[in-house]
């Protein structure tokens, strides 16, 4: 039993920290121009919106019913909107980021941190699910872990790009991208030790729906406005479509 738990945890850990690959991709790029920034922020929004509407919300509907899942979705929207309003204005600027480097850096830092938190929340139950499937059958769980690792790479990019733009510290941003993926093994550990008796379909369903609402709100309130404010609207749209396409392919790989 001990060896099975260790194998399942190792698979979950490797799948989770693949967000770090996305962070390394961002760190290795020598400069981040406005076009790349617009496309990358759009890409991040596309990743999060597609995950939310194609994976998380449908999972919530399957576990609950359409009415309760939609209630959970907009509950997540309301929750993050209230949190956003409660943050003091001096660290939560909503003005255009063009022409003011301090506000631009501030907005990017905030976008990166909130994106990292949202992706970590998304990865927490995902890690628990990966761990449980690996515990049941490690061989059948291998393609699941590989597919999750692949679709965690763009999630790492989503966290690293705004943080690097805000601070200029490329490897620091890559490190935070990696940390966001550690929510998966953390979810596995907490789920196994504490939450397993309580993590029924209803709890998981509400979790998925609420997280979907949070991620969609962040995409429209933080990532896309910052992308468009670079002055390269079309690049941000191209990024959105590219992010959605890559996430669609990665989700198709999931058994």
Binding site per annotation, positions for Fe(2+): 123, 126, 152, 155, 184
Q: In sequence order, which residues have a C-beta less than 8 Å from that of residue 110 and are 6 or more positions away?
A: 91, 92, 222
Cα(205)–Cα(72) distance, rounded to whole angstroms?
9
Cβ-contact 176, 23 below 8 angstroms: yes
| Backbone CA torsion sign across 156, 159, 162, 163 | negative
Q: Which long-range contacts (CB under 8 A, 24 or more apart) does 192-199 make?
A: 192/5, 192/128, 192/131, 195/128, 199/128
Known binding site: residues?
Answer: 123, 126, 151-152, 155, 184
Per the CB < 8 A criterion, the answer to whether 135 and 5 are in contact is: yes
Is residue 3 within a helix (H) or strand (E), and if so which, with residue range?
A: helix 2-16
Residue 39 has a CB neighbour count (10 Å cut-off) of 24
Residue keyed to tokens 């698979």 = 11
């Amino acid at each position: 039993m001990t060896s099975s738990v260790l194998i399942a945890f190792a698979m979950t850990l490797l799948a989770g920290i693949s967000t770090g690959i996305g962070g390394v991709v961002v760190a290795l790029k020598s400069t981040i121009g406005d076009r790349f920034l617009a496309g990358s922020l759009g890409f991040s929004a596309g990743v999060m919106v597609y995950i939310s509407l194609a994976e998380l919300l449908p999972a919530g509907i399957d576990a609950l019913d359409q009415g309760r899942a939609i209630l959970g979705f907009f509950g997540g929207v309301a929750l993050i909107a209230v949190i956003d309003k409660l943050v003091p204005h001096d660290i939560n600027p909503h003005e255009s980021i063009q022409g003011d480097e301090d506000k631009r850096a501030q907005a990017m830092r905030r976008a990166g941190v909130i994106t990292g938190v949202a992706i970590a929340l998304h990865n927490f139950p995902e890690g628990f699910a990966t761990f449980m499937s690996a515990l049941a059958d490690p061989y059948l769980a291998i393609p699941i872990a590989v597919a999750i690792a692949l679709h965690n790479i763009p999630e790492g990019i989503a966290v690293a790009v705004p943080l690097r733009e805000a601070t200029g510290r490329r490897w620091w941003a890559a490190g935070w991208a990696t940390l966001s993926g550690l929510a998966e093994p953390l979810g596995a550990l907490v789920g196994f030790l504490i939450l397993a008796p309580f993590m029924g379909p209803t709890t998981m369903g509400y979790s998925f729906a609420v997280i979907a609402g949070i991620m969609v709100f962040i995409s429209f309130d933080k990532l896309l406005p910052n992308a468009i404010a670079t002055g390269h609207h079309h690049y941000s749209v191209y990024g959105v479509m590219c992010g959605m396409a890559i996430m669609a392919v990665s989700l198709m790989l999931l058994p």
